[in-house]
């Protein structure tokens, strides 16, 4: 049994933390809202502050919305840094800025502790099923120490490189996902506007070279209009903004990423920021004055 901490028990964090405590580990938790009752029933112990979590746990996980949230939990009043002692490990599973991640890692390293950035892909479904893809940046020794815990939460677990490289990989993932959602949305909209049954078009395409996980899952959501969030448009917007900010710093043009970001912005401007990112199709539908379904 290991002494673990988990901070951030939202749509993703709660089931991820649940897998850790159900495996028999001592789990100390903190979140902005109340700790889910099922976690407490499973044995998790609620802590008043992030610092208290860091004091009691040897490995502390975070699953937070954005870069400023991570900075506050790490270094703000009663933050993780104030509760650390040498030899502990901080694991950030949020999706945040790769460049800021490198700075966070340096500050945690200066306290005698290891830092891993370990963002995930797979959404709420993957979090609940413990089938997440986990992309890790950080030192080899820390990765090997935490790997058995990653295996409780995910299936495809890769040490990409040093600190920041896990977050860079996640940004790349979000670019690919966004562009695929836009492509599926355009294809189904085209088919529907032309008079074809989009459900049957999707079924046919699933057997060919155009087949993809996005077409399978998000294409079905577009047709059935099931836009309850697995991963919210607002969060994907944040990730694409990270990509575009990084591109400016690197002097790289990402024209298709910029286009997808604008489609998500159109959705947000129409009050859809809390819908699933498959609802990006709604921006296309508004421009076409035609719905897929």
Q: How far is CA 84 from CA 40, 67, 88, 89, 223, in A?
A: 24, 20, 7, 9, 49
Mean pLDDT of 93-106: 96
Q: How far is CA 41 from CA 7, 52, 79, 217, in A?
A: 17, 20, 26, 33
* Active-site residue, 170 included: yes
For 90, the 3-state DSSP assignment is strand
∠ CA(209), CA(211), CA(216), 5° rounding?
175
pLDDT at 268: 97
pLDDT at 230: 83
**Beta strand pairing call for 154-161 and 26-30:** unpaired
Report phi then psi at 230, rounded to 5.
-95, -40
Catalytic residue, from 56, 72, 88, 170: name it. 170
Give the pTM: 0.91
**Is the model's pLDDT at 14 over the cut of 90?**
yes
pLDDT tens-digit profile of 217-259?
Answer: 999 999 999 999 888 999 999 999 999 999 999 999 999 999 9
Structure tokens at 61: 């996980």
Task: Name the percent of the chain lying above pLDDT 70.
Answer: 100
């Amino acid at each position: 049994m290991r002494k673990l901490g988990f901070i951030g028990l939202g749509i993703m964090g709660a089931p991820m933390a649940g897998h850790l405590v159900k495996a028999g580990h001592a789990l100390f938790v903190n979140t902005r809202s109340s700790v889910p009752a099922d976690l407490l029933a499973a044995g998790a112990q609620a802590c008043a502050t992030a610092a208290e979590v860091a004091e009691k746990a040897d490995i502390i996980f975070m699953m937070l919305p954005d870069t400023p949230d991570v900075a506050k939990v790490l270094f703000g009043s009663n933050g993780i840094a104030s509760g650390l002692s040498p030899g502990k490990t901080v694991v950030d599973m949020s999706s945040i800025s790769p460049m800021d991640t490198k700075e966070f890692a340096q500050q945690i390293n200066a306290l005698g502790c290891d830092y891993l950035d370990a963002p995930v892909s797979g959404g709420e479904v993957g979090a609940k099923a413990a089938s997440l893809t986990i992309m890790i940046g950080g030192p080899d020794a820390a990765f090997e120490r935490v790997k058995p815990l990653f295996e409780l939460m995910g299936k495809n677990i890769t040490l990409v490189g040093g600190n920041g490289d896990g977050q860079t990989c996640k940004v790349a993932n979000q670019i690919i996902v966004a562009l695929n959602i836009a492509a599926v949305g355009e294809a189904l909209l085209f088919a529907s506007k032309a008079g074809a049954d989009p459900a049957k078009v999707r079924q046919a395409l699933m057997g060919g070279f155009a087949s993809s996980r996005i077409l399978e899952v998000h294409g079905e959501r577009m047709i059935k209009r099931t836009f309850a969030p697995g991963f919210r448009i607002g969060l994907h917007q944040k990730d694409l903004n990270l990509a575009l900010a990084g591109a400016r710093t690197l002097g790289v043009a990402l024209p298709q990423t910029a286009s997808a970001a604008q489609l998500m912005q159109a959705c947000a401007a129409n009050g859809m920021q809390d819908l699933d990112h498959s609802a990006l199709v709604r921006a296309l539908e508004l421009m076409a004055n035609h719905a897929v379904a």
